[in-house]
Amino acid sequence: MGLGDLTKQIAQQALVSATTKDPPPPPQPENVAATFLGQIAAMQKALKEDEELLVLFHNGAERIRVMEVFAPSREVVVLSGPDSDRNRARVICAVASLQLTCKVSKVPPGNKPVRVGLINPKP
């Protein structure tokens, strides 16, 4: 076998091995639940000592002040807090359709600011 034939054979093997590799795995979809939790955490971190973050969930005439956000999966969140009549309420919803209203409000003197609890389970 001559040098030219050997070079040709090596080139063919390199070409075959380059084209038969498994394609790379598809990228992971964005974790929207983690993005929600991260945004709320960032807003709370920026608060002053006399401020609190008021997080509200509206569904028609129903309004809930969100005191805790739990993300059991990438697609579902559970919101807990009192409704307008101060009844304990919990909303279980798909993250894709979730809309929250977030407001910074001053805490009356003598009161302690409330922080929203954020729970993201470990993978």
The 3-class SS string of 47-110 reads CCCCEEEEEEEEECCEEEECCEEECCCCCEEEEEEEECCCCEEEEEEEHHHCCCEEEEEECCCC
> 81, 96, 114: which is closest to 36 by C-alpha?
96
Going by C-alpha positions, the residue among 74, 79, 116, 115 that lies closest to residue 95 is 74
The confidence score (pLDDT) of residue 123 equals: 61
- 3 state DSSP class of 35: helix
Residue 69 falls inside a structural domain: yes
Rounded distance between C-alpha atoms, residue 116 and residue 67, angstroms: 5
Q: How many domains does the chain fold into? A: 1
| pLDDT per residue as tens digits for the range 2-27 | 666 767 777 777 766 666 666 677 77
pTM of the complete model: 0.72
Residue 15 covered by a domain? no
What's the mean pLDDT in 98-107? 94
Residue 25 lies in a domain: no
Residue 91 structural domain: 32-119
Mean pLDDT of 40-50: 93
Closest by CA to 93, choosing from 53, 115, 66, is 66
Is residue 10 one of the residues assigned to a domain?
A: no
